[in-house]
Amino acid sequence: MNGNLMVSSSPHIRSNETISSVMRDVIIGLVPAAVMGIIFFGVTAAIEIAMCILAAIVAESIYNKIAKKPNTIKDLSAVVTGLLLAMNLPALSFDTHPIAIFVMPVVGAFFAIIIAKQLFGGLGQNFINPALAGRAFLLASYPTLMSGSAFGPTGFLAKAGIDAATYATPLASIKQTGDAGATLIQGLIGNTGGTIGETCAIALIIGGLYLIIRKVISWRIPVVYIATVFIFTTILKFAGVPAAADRLPVQELFYGGLMLGAFFMATDYASSPVTPKGQLIMGFGCGFITTLIRVFGGYPEGVSYSILLMNLCVPLIDRYTAPRTFGYSKVKAKEVK
């Protein structure tokens, strides 16, 4: 028997959690919102989701092939990126945009996977959220399709006569007319204008809670993010800022991309802080910038840009929020740095 024993450094056991189990949990967390998106936005939503995921997997495979690296699609991170990208796309009408429905997801997914993720070193090395980078790229490439009239619900329930919302997202409507044009209940269940995955707040909260319970993400970023939007909007409103006069803090939470952004986008591992304190700052920064853009900015919605901006601050945040090492007094810890 001697001579055949394996020798390695301790520890000799590992938890069952793997990258693919984490990614699988994220996918499970997104399923409710994706299903609601398909219900409200119809078959084209399903096509776009499928196209995004497929294109992300293909992009990852092609890159790995060219770069002569082992294929990493089994870790499911490309599927997550594709799915998240789809959640950020409007459901286009098959009649008016028969080509864009297929092309737009491919362009976005290739940009997300190859430019934002792989060129910076692949999984864990991307400094911005790949799906949001893909969305930002599409917003520049297809400005009319990615905003405005493309957002209307066209799905089964919408056609069946449930109050079809106007062809503007509630946040855009608030910006233009001062009125959301949809009830809060519509926002909660998702029967409003918006991207495929952002409208059903309830589904997103359920998915987000699942991730927190499974310990895939911590509560810090989403809770602080959402709370900051609520509190900051309240302050602006009651401070008498004219631009915030028409805004109801509760509406700000359930209309637009806040829930999707807070639970699924700002918590992206690679582009969010690893320290507990840093995660609080990340949540606060996202909430602060989101509210600034919504209230004062030219765009009706600020979730994606706030997260992208905060992504850029993450290395700095991590650097200055390192936890106190056990056995060092607070004063001493500062001296060391």
Q: Which chain residues interact with other proteins by CB under 8 A?
A: 1-15, 17-19, 21-22, 72, 75, 77, 121-125, 218, 269-270, 272-276, 279, 322-329, 336-337
Shortest CB 34 distance to other proteins, Å: 23
| Nearest to other proteins of 7, 160 (CB atom) | 7
User: Quick one: DSSP state of residue 242?
Assistant: G
Shortest CB 324 distance to other proteins, Å: 5
| Nearest to other proteins of 46, 270 (CB atom) | 270
**Residue 144, both tokens:** 């009319």
Shortest CB 27 distance to other proteins, Å: 15
| Nearest to other proteins of 155, 208 (CB atom) | 208
Query: What Å distances lie between residue 259 and 83, 102, 116, CA to CA?
Result: 16, 27, 23
Nearest CA to 26 among 201, 221, 265?
265
| Nearest to other proteins of 9, 144 (CB atom) | 9
Shortest CB 108 distance to other proteins, Å: 22
HEC-encoded secondary structure of 68-116 = CCCCCHHHCHHHHHHHHHHHCCCCCCCCCCCCHHHHHHHHHHHHHHHHH
Nearest CA to 57 among 38, 81, 35, 88?
81
Shortest CB 33 distance to other proteins, Å: 22
Shortest CB 287 distance to other proteins, Å: 20
| Nearest to other proteins of 135, 220 (CB atom) | 220
| Nearest to other proteins of 72, 147 (CB atom) | 72
**Residue 176, both tokens:** 């233009």
Q: Can you tell me which residue has the tokens 């959640």? A: 87
Please give the full DSSP string across 138-204, using - where no structure is assigned: HHHHSTTTTSGGGG---SHHHHTTS-PPPSS-HHHHHHHHS--SS-HHHHHHT-SSS-TTTS-HHHH
Shortest CB 121 distance to other proteins, Å: 8
What is the spatial distance between Cα 151 and Cα 167, in angstroms, rounded to a whole number?
6
| Nearest to other proteins of 67, 250 (CB atom) | 67
Asked if 179 and 246 count as a contact pair (C-beta separation under 8 A), the reply is yes
